[in-house]
Amino acid sequence: MRVTQLRQADLNLLVVFSVLAEERNVSRAAKRLLLSQPAVSRALQRMRDTFHDDLLVRTVKGYEPTPQGERVLQELEIMLPKLDRLISGSTFDPVTEHCSFRIAATDNATSIIAPVLCREVLPVARQVRFTFASWRGDVFEDLSHGRLDLALIGDEGHVPSPLLTEVIYEEELVCIVAADAPYQRQLTLKQYLAAEHIGVDVVEGSQHIPEKRLAAHGHRRRTVITLPYFGAATRCIPGTKLILTAPRRFAGLEAENRKIKVLKAPGEITGFKYLMIWHPRVNTDAAHAWLRGEIRRIGKKIGS
């Protein structure tokens, strides 16, 4: 890590500059900082020398930032709260602190959890940004190297050590068929195995949970087409004899679609637990703890 410039800098100057830029007035800034006005003025001059720019210029309305000053302020708005939290171990305030989270999730988890985030979390956490990425084979490696903050997937015992996990809700599997399909409320295993299926590429090219459930009983279904998304797969069902095995809560999102119907899966196709996964490195980080708390809350709401 190269910190040549940082070793020569006085980080307290950044705090003084940030407050002065907010107040646009030396006397008000000095009062907030418990410093004398000359001390604030000297700090500003040292900042100007460091950045080789005026940063703040005096106008009739008070100090106004230069373009370089604006860029410094934008960085400080993100950096200073993180530094303060790093030193103090304080809690994360999503109302005032800037933060971005990268979450890898399956198609199902994104469809169920992201809408709740948009409705309930984003309006309050105005400075927080979420980026959802599709599930890939290198998700666990990305978590280990800090390229992802969190991952969401069904629990099938394949999460490697030392990653940490927590169950956020439990899910059942159902079968989506065309509205005019001859099946009644629940498919038998014989009917299920005799039919052709639409698969969904959840992890590494397969819909692993129903496949494992069938394999445990010595069976295998006939999957004639595999798609990357449950939504696209659902839209392929009308006008066919195909069966789509999907999480019950996802199927509930299609409840108004009169071209399909949702049936109980054979008893052998049992449900699963949904996990959030993270690296121990961020376990005590206040911002990450807040993120997990929100996902945990959403999971309880979904599961109730």
The three-state DSSP-derived secondary structure of 184-201 is CCECCHHHHHHCEEEEEC
Tens digits of residue pLDDT in 187-232 = 999 999 999 999 998 876 678 889 999 999 999 999 999 999 999 9
Confidence band for 18, pLDDT divided at 50, 70 and 90: confident
Which two structure tokens, joined as six digits, stand for 230?
A: 């449950």
In the predicted structure, residue 41 carries a pLDDT above the cut 80? yes
Cα 60 from Cα 48, distance rounded (Å): 21
User: What integer is the mean pLDDT of 53-76?
Assistant: 88
Question: Is 172 in a helix, a strand, or coil?
Answer: coil
Between residues 175 and 205, the one the model is more confident about: 175
Phi, psi of 199 (to 5 degrees): -100, 160
Of 116, 91, 120, 93, nearest in space to 105 by CA = 116
pLDDT in the model for residue 189? 97
User: What integer is the mean pLDDT of 13-36?
Assistant: 86
**Residue 151: CB partners within 8 Å, gap ≥ 6?**
103, 104, 105, 135, 139, 140, 143, 276, 277, 278
User: What integer is the mean pLDDT of 274-293?
Assistant: 90
